[in-house]
Amino acid sequence: MPPAIAVDGKSLRGAFARTGDAVVHPLSALTHHDGIVLCQRQVITGTSEITWRQPLLDTRST
């Protein structure tokens, strides 16, 4: 059976920008079994996690 990968986003507590109007909101892909983060991107303010799901999964290491 292929490994399961979860995609989840969180707003980081206490990570507001100095302007006070934006928050750091990473979207991560991680393995279910080990909890290893495979890739991560910041969700731009005003967009949704759904918009960033495919670009996150298309990330390639160089």
Question: What does the pLDDT read at residue 15?
Answer: 63
pLDDT digits (tens, 9 = 90+) for 27-43: 999 998 888 999 999 88
Task: Evaluate the CA torsion angle 62, 34, 16, 54 in order and state its sign.
Answer: positive
Query: Within the chain, which residues score under 50 in pLDDT?
Result: 61-62
Question: What does the pLDDT read at residue 18?
Answer: 61
Residue 43: CB atoms within 10 A of its CB come to 21
Q: Domain residues for 20?
A: 5-57
Question: What does the pLDDT read at residue 29?
Answer: 92
Q: In total, how many domains does the chain have?
A: 1
Question: What does the pLDDT read at residue 49?
Answer: 86
9: in domain:
yes
Alpha-carbon distance of 25 to 46, in angstroms, equals 11
**pTM value > 0.85:** no
62: in domain:
no
Question: What does the pLDDT read at residue 62?
Answer: 42
Q: Which of 2, 11, 5 is nearest to 48 (CA)?
A: 11
End-to-end alpha carbon distance in the chain: 27
3-state SS class at 22:
coil
